[in-house]
Amino acid sequence: MPTPSYPVQDRRAAIKARIRTKQPHRVPNQRLRLFLVWLVVFGGIVGLLARLVYLQVSAAPFLRTKAQDQQLGNLPERTFRYPIVDSQGNLLAKDEPVFRLFAHPFLFQKQPDEIAKALAPVLDRSSDSLIELFKTGESGIPIGYRLSETEAEKINNLYLDGLEITREWQRVYPQSGLTSGLVGYVNTENQGQSGIEYSQQPLLKGDPIPLLVARDGQGKLLPDRFPLEPLNANDLTLKLTLDTRLQRSARQALHQTMAKFRAKRGSVIVMDVEDGSLKALASEPSFNPQRYFEANTELFKNWAISDLYEPGSTFKPINIAIALESNAIKADSVFHDGGQITVGGWPINNADNSGHGNLSITGILEYSSNVGMVHVMQRMDRSAYYNYLKKIGIGQITGTDLPFETPGQFKDKQQFLDYPIEAATAAFGQGFSVTPLQMAQLHAAIANGGELVTPHVVDGLYNPAGKKTKGLNLIQPRRIFSENTAAKVRTMMGSVVQNGTGKPAKIPGYRLGGKTGTAQKADSGTYSNARITSFVASFPLESPKYVVLAVVDEPQGGNAYGSTVAAPVVKSVLETLISVEGIPPSHPAELKAKPKASRPGG
């Protein structure tokens, strides 16, 4: 059936009718839509701020560390050692930069012979030897060690490709062997091996400082953050009580005497009697700490601290003080010296093999009478004598800050009590052993009024302003003799120098107390013909400030005694001390007087 057709006007009318019959469309509220949009935006801002706070506050340490790990690298830490100076500020040890030169032949832009010819005069090597080294590898060939800053700069100015200079550090000792027995040395790992470099290592080592450098994404170092050497952060200095002027004088006098008497070794100690500080301690032979690897290892231990000897007659004033303090004798007691005495079947003689008749205590010290000393100490109960020797430290260490100290050797008490010869030999300083340092300590107790002080060489750490920041905890002084006893013994020792075996140490215009010592050396339980000679002095006698001890081991010749070998050494050191300290003469009228001949022995 055909589709009916309508006029155009009818179709339009039908469409309009359908539109009018439809419901109208509702438009959303505009304010609500705007609110929702702003709510989304605000939520985004709050979330962004929360994330920012998290990154900037909570996660900041982690992110900072992670960034530094990516952007910065650590150079190896270097352990600093504080410089060491003497009491006058003279440098004894310090860290100093040195350089090492490496060759990388595969990077050479010139012929090896040209490079060798340019380097030879700087390295003080032949060009042929350098060419041979270049042939040993393609990279990393060490061709120069311990180069100075000047030498490193000369090499840099050659502008040669294939060369690399690295900086290292070494410990240098400007005074060389003068102070090596005290200061010591460090090895290639910067570890102290002797002297205070060893014993005071915790005090000398500064805290290592971390060094950061910038690097790019490939890990290569960048110059914008390359650190300067932080030596200014290592600004403390270890100051010693040592005076290198006295040290030099002591060493020179010791050298001359050892050469004259062909002695095996020797030592000189200068100690402040008030506090035990060491102003000089020279022991020979010594070594060069810069070239320690060439030295005899026995020299690394200062024998004045580590080796024992029988003190002989220098111990007699100590025994007199013990006897006086114990009321066994009086200062005006008199004893007969017949030249020989037998104790427990053993004969004891004087050093000069002669008797001197009736002697006062002062006379016994003046003549250095062995027989007189045996009579003196026989006045004491042996048990009390033994206990007093232990009280003053025989068989013990002094507690010094120097390393490798050896305690003295002493018989056990029962042997000392059962055999009278033990007390008899101890009376004139034999049958037991001490170190030279302990002998100086004991005489310092006589000089300072009876107190035992601790020998030491370290003053402390000082900052650039001159303020001490750290010192040592030393053993506190303890009294072993009364002031009255010490004063009496000092007067006697003054007479030894004026009238007895100590005359070679006399200094016109000045007064000093002293005592000589000449002891046979023990060898496998018996005494040999070898001698060890010594002299000890307290100065000035009127009010002692210093003790000076010289010990010379195995001097040769028939005229080798404490008075002829060791006393002149002490005199020479005291003359330097007078000059250095500006000590005026106590007896100026004697300055032009001629010295009298001295008595041998002791």
Structure tokens at 444: 């310092």
Structure tokens at 260: 């004259």
Report the greatest alpha carbon distance in the chain. 180
Please state whether the peptide bond connecting residue 285 to the residue before it is cis, i.e. omega within 30 degrees of 0.
Answer: yes
Structure tokens at 17: 């009718």
Helix ranges (DSSP H) in 500-601: 567-581
Residue 98 near residue 147 (C-beta atoms within 8 A): yes
Spell 83-109 as b/e; 16+ CB within 10 A means b: bbbbbeebebbbbeebbbbebbbeebe
Element (H, E) at 98: strand 91-103
Sign of CA dihedral 34, 36, 40, 45: positive
Count the Cβ atoms, other than its own, within 10 Å of residue 337: 23
Q: Would you name the residues annotated as active-site residues?
A: 313
Q: Report CA 35 to chain centroid distance, whole Å.
A: 82
What secondary structure does DSSP assign to 215-278, as a single string? E-TTS-EEGGGPPPPGGGG---EEEES--HHHHHHHHHHHHHHHHHHT-SEEEEEEEETTT-BE
User: What is the C-alpha separation between 269 and 437, in angstroms, rounded?
Assistant: 7
Does residue 509 come out as left (phi exceeding 0), alpha (psi in the -120 to 50 range) or beta? Answer: left
User: What is the C-alpha separation between 287 and 522, in angstroms, rounded?
Assistant: 27
Say which residues have a Cβ less than 8 Å from residue 305's Cβ, sequence separation at least 6. Answer: 400, 402, 403, 404, 405, 406, 435, 436, 437
Return the SS3 of 186: strand
To 10 degrees, what angle do helices 316-325 and 483-499 make?
140
User: What is the C-alpha separation between 426 and 445, in angstroms, rounded?
Assistant: 19
Structure tokens at 124: 């003080």
Structure tokens at 86: 């003497």
Looking at residue 527, what DSSP letter applies? E
